[in-house]
Structure 1
C-alpha cells in the first residue's frame, strides 16, 4: 500500500500553501487553489467539462484581493501554471486578468509583470486580453491603458526572435484577437532589429518586408529570420507536393503553417508525422489509419510504431500512462466520436501502444503518500467512461496501477481503521451514481485520522456519473470526481500533495 521511497509520516499536520488555520478548514486560499487547478472553488471535478468563468465563480479570489493579498494570488497563479498543476489554464488567465485591473496598484503591477510567465504562447495571451475585455464590459473605461500596453510590448520584445517567428506564423489569431491587433493597440516599439522585422511582417505583410530589407546590409540574425519567413510564405503559395514536403523536412514546418489543400496529401501527412509531437500524434492515429496515411506493413507504419514505444521519446514527451490508455482504447474503437471517420485498427499500433503503456510509468513521479484504492465490483463497471472509449472497469484497473450492489464508500476507511492501516489518500472508484453509506463518510474519515494520526483524504470517483453529494463539503480533505480523464489524475495528485 505504501510506495517505495514514501515520505509520508503519521501525525504530520504541517500546513501547506493552501492552509491558513485548521488543516482541514476550507480557507479562501484553498478555494483559490481549486479554482486555479480546475476552474471551480467547489469540491467536484468534472472531467472533460470546461467551467464557465465569472466573478460569481471566483468569490475566494475576490475575497483575497479585498484583503490586500493580491500579490500572493499572483504568485499562486504563476506556481500553478509553471509547475503544471493547472488542469485547465483558462482559470489562471481569468484570475490574472482580474488581478491586472484590481484597484490596488501593487496587485496590478504584479499581474502585468507575471504576464510573460503565465502567457507562454500567443493563444494564452489572446485569451488573457479577451478576459480583460469581458471583465471591463459595462465600464466606461477601456482596457488599453499604459500598463497593459507596456506588458504586451514586453511580451513581444522579450521573445527569442526565431521562437516569435514560429509563434506568429503558427497561431495568428484566437478569441477574436490577432497579433496585428495587439501590436497596434499596444503601440509596441521593437527592442531590436529582428523584433522590428517580425512586427513589420505581422502588421504590413511580406511584400513590404521584401521591399524594406531588399537593399539593406542585414545582420546574420535578421537574415535568419528573413529566410524563415520566406519559407513560410513560399509554402503558403506552393501547389507542388514535392516542394511542400521538402520545405517541411528542411525547416521543420508544422501543420498549422500549411494550407488545407496541403493536408489532403497522404505524403504530406507522412512527412509531418516524423517530427510531430508524440501527444499530438496519438490523437490522430485513427484518422491516419482511416485516410490510409498509415498502411499495414508499410515503412511509415513501422516508423510511427517505433516512435510510440520508444523509451527516449516517451520520456522526453513526458507522456502519462493514462494518455496511452485513452489513445489505445479510442483506437481500438475503430470509429470517431461523431461516427463519420471509421478505420480497421492495426495490430502493430495496438501492440506499440500496449508496450508504451507500461514504459510510461517511468514518467510518473512517486507522490510519497500511502494510498488505499477501492473498486466497486458491481456489474455497473461494464459501462464506458463518458467522452472516451474506456470501460469504467479498465479505467479503474489503470488507476489502481497508478497510485454488485450498492456502494458504501465508508467500508475501505473502516477496514483501514480497524486493521491499523494508516492511509493518506483513500480513492473509491465506481460508476454507481448512488452512495449508500452505513455512516457519514466525513465522520468515518475523521475517526481514521484520529486513530492513525494520518492526514487522510478521500477521493470519490464516479466514473460515469453526473455528481455525488457529500454531507460536509467544508472539509478540505474531500473531493468528488465525475467521469475520468488525465486531468482527474492530476487533480488527485495535487490533493495528495496538499496543493489544492
Structure 2
C-alpha cells in the first residue's frame, strides 16, 4: 500500500472504472513487467467503497487472471488487504466472479490447467470452488469440478453408467491418463501417453523424470522458455550428455529460427539463460553441472537470431555507457556482468533503431562509438571499455548532443555507479536540450547495480530512474519511448 499513492488518489477522485480499464490494458497488451502489480491493483479496486469500481473489478477478473496462478494471487491479495478487519473476503460478488472464472473457461483447457497447477499462494482449486459455492454452468465444467473436489474415483462412479457426450468422453479419457501417470507405470506407456496427450512435466511423477526416454518425449513439445530454465538441471541429472540424441534435440530447438520467431523470445532472455548455464551451478548452489560446449554454442547462435523479434519504436536514440567506474561487477539478481548487460542493451537498440547514436563517456569527455550489425557481443563489449575510467557525470552525453545539435528522442544512460557527481542539474541539462532541439526528449537513467537514486523531477513525465536491470527494464524503456507510460 505504501507504493500505491497514485492508485489510491485515483480511486478517491472517483476514477475507479478508469483504473480497472488501465489494469486490463496492461494485462492484455503484456505491458506489465510482472502481473503481480496489476493483480494487487485489481484486488484494491475490488474492495473499494464505490459500487461501480467493485463491479468493474470483478467483471475484469477473467480478462486479467488468465491462468490459475493469477487467480490464486488475486485471492491472496484480497485476503491480505482484509487482514485485521472483522469482515471476511468471500462476499456474494467474489463468489460470483470466481464461479464465472471457472464457468467461462474452455473445458479441456481448464482440465489441463487444474492438473498442471493445483495450488499456489496457499490456495487450491478445491478451496476456491468450495468457498465460491460454484454452480457449474455446463456438464463439462461440472465434471471438472467434481474431479477437483471429490477426486477421480467419485468421477468414475458418477459417469460409469451414463450416456456421455463426445466432449465428456474426451475429458474422462484425459483425466484418466493424468491419473494413470500419477502412479508408477511402465516407461514405454508413460512415453506413449506424453506423446498422445501432450502431457507436461508438472503432471508427471519425479520417478518418471529420471528416464532419458521420458525426457526425450517431453522435449519434443516443451515450451522454449521452460526448456531454457532447466538446462542446468538436465545437464546435472545426466539427461543431457555430450553427443546424445537428447543433446542434439535440445540444441536444434534452441537455435531453431522458426521456434524463436514463434515464441518471440527476446535476445536478453537468451543471454540470461546462457550466463546462468555457463556458471555451472543453480541459484542456491545445490545443483551443479559441467556446462556443455554444444549448448553454449546453440545459445550464442540463438542470441543473434533473436534480434529479429525486437520491433523498432522508430525513435532517435542516444545510448550512453558510463565507463567511469569498473563495469566488471554483476547485476544484482543475475549472473551477468554489468559490461555484458550494457553491451547487449546497446546492441539491441542500435540493431533495431535506424537512428541510434552510441556514446561512451568518462572524466569529462564523451566519445561517439560505432556499433555495426556484424559485431559480436565480445566485439561490442571490447569497444565499450577501451577508454580510461574516471569520475561520473551523466549530464555529459546530453550536453554533447545539445552542443553538436543532435536531435534525440530518447537518452538511455547506463551506469554502474549509484552515486554521481554532476557539473549541472540533469533535469536542467535535459530542458536545455529540449529548448535547443524543439523535441520533448526523454531521459532514462539506469543504475545497473544501484539500490536507489533520484535525479528525476517527479512532475516531468519524460524522466525515469531504473534501479538494477532485467528484461522488464527493456520493456519499460520501449513503453516510455512510445508514450505508453
Does residue 116 of structure 2 align to residue 155 of structure 1? no
Match of 1:208 in 2: 154
- How large is the RMSD of aligned CA atoms in angstroms? 1.4
Which of 435, 443, 457 is residue 420 of structure 2 equivalent to? 435
Does residue 477 of structure 2 align to residue 492 of structure 1? yes
String of CA shifts for 1:190-214, please: whole Å, max 9, x gaps: 1111011001101111001000100
Does residue 156 of structure 2 align to residue 171 of structure 1? no
Tell me the distance in 1 between the aligned counterparts of 2:434 and 2:426. 12
Match of 2:51 in 1: 105
Which of 272, 292, 297 is residue 351 of structure 1 equivalent to? 297
Match of 1:45 in 2: none
Unpaired segments ≥5 residues, structure 2? 350-388
Tell me the distance in 1 between the aligned counterparts of 2:445 and 2:59. 39
Which of 432, 453, 468 is residue 468 of structure 1 equivalent to? 453
Which of 299, 302, 315 is residue 369 of structure 1 equivalent to? 315
Relative to structure 1, the CA distance from residue 124 to residue 279 in structure 2 (aligned partners, 3 Å threshold; closer, same or farther) is same
Match of 2:178 in 1: 232
Does residue 206 of structure 2 align to residue 285 of structure 1? no
Q: CA deviation at 1:72?
A: 0.2
The answer to whether the 8 Å contact 1:426/1:458 transfers is yes
Q: Which residues in structure 2 correspond to 1:353-432 (within 5 Å)?
A: 353-378=299-324, 380-403=326-349, 404-432=389-417
Secondary structure, in 3 states, of the residue corresponding to 2:289?
coil
Tell me the distance in 2 between the aligned counterparts of 1:476 and 1:143. 37
Q: CA deviation at 1:379?
A: 5.5
Relative to structure 1, the CA distance from residue 60 to residue 379 in structure 2 (aligned partners, 3 Å threshold; closer, same or farther) is closer
String of CA shifts for 1:448-485, please: whole Å, max 9, x gaps: 11111112111111212222231634322222222221
Secondary structure, in 3 states, of the residue corresponding to 2:476?
helix
Which of 248, 273, 293 is residue 219 of structure 2 equivalent to? 273
Match of 1:16 in 2: none
The answer to whether the 8 Å contact 2:39/2:74 transfers is yes
The answer to whether the 8 Å contact 1:406/1:434 transfers is no
Deviates more, 1:322-331 or 1:336-345: 336-345
Secondary structure, in 3 states, of the residue corresponding to 1:350?
helix
Tell me the distance in 2 between the aligned counterparts of 1:141 and 1:384. 47
**Please, what TM-score do these two structures have when normalized by structure 1?**
0.87
Q: CA deviation at 1:373?
A: 0.4
Tell me the distance in 1 between the aligned counterparts of 2:468 and 2:238. 33
Tell me the distance in 2 between the aligned counterparts of 1:300 and 1:130. 40
The answer to whether the 8 Å contact 1:413/1:444 transfers is yes
Tell me the distance in 1 between the aligned counterparts of 2:322 and 2:37. 33
**Please, what TM-score do these two structures have when normalized by structure 2?**
0.89
Secondary structure, in 3 states, of the residue corresponding to 1:459?
strand
Secondary structure, in 3 states, of the residue corresponding to 2:220?
helix
Tell me the distance in 1 between the aligned counterparts of 2:460 and 2:434. 13
Tell me the distance in 1 between the aligned counterparts of 2:123 and 2:480. 36
Tell me the distance in 1 between the aligned counterparts of 2:131 and 2:284. 41
Q: CA deviation at 1:183?
A: 1.0
Tell me the distance in 2 between the aligned counterparts of 1:216 and 1:438. 82
Q: CA deviation at 1:380?
A: 0.5
The answer to whether the 8 Å contact 1:406/1:432 transfers is no
String of CA shifts for 1:367-409, please: whole Å, max 9, x gaps: 1211100112245112222222222111111101122111110
Which of 439, 443, 454 is residue 439 of structure 2 equivalent to? 454
The answer to whether the 8 Å contact 1:241/1:262 transfers is yes
Tell me the distance in 2 between the aligned counterparts of 1:98 and 1:173. 23
How many pairs were matched up?
446
String of CA shifts for 1:393-449, please: whole Å, max 9, x gaps: 111111011221111100110011111111111111121222121100000011111
Match of 1:50 in 2: none
Match of 1:71 in 2: 17
Tell me the distance in 1 between the aligned counterparts of 2:330 and 2:81. 39
Secondary structure, in 3 states, of the residue corresponding to 1:429?
strand
The answer to whether the 8 Å contact 2:456/2:465 transfers is no
The answer to whether the 8 Å contact 2:325/2:392 transfers is no
Which of 186, 189, 194 is residue 248 of structure 1 equivalent to? 194
Tell me the distance in 2 between the aligned counterparts of 1:336 and 1:475. 42
Tell me the distance in 2 between the aligned counterparts of 1:270 and 1:80. 37
Match of 1:335 in 2: 281
Tell me the distance in 2 between the aligned counterparts of 1:56 and 1:289. 43
Tell me the distance in 2 between the aligned counterparts of 1:121 and 1:458. 36
The answer to whether the 8 Å contact 1:459/1:478 transfers is yes
Match of 1:15 in 2: none
Tell me the distance in 2 between the aligned counterparts of 1:427 and 1:486. 15
Unpaired segments ≥5 residues, structure 1? 1-54
Tell me the distance in 2 between the aligned counterparts of 1:149 and 1:330. 43
String of CA shifts for 1:226-282, please: whole Å, max 9, x gaps: 000000001002343222222112211111111222223333223222211101111
Moved over 4 A (4+): none
Secondary structure, in 3 states, of the residue corresponding to 1:382?
coil
Match of 1:12 in 2: none
Tell me the distance in 2 between the aligned counterparts of 1:253 and 1:77. 33
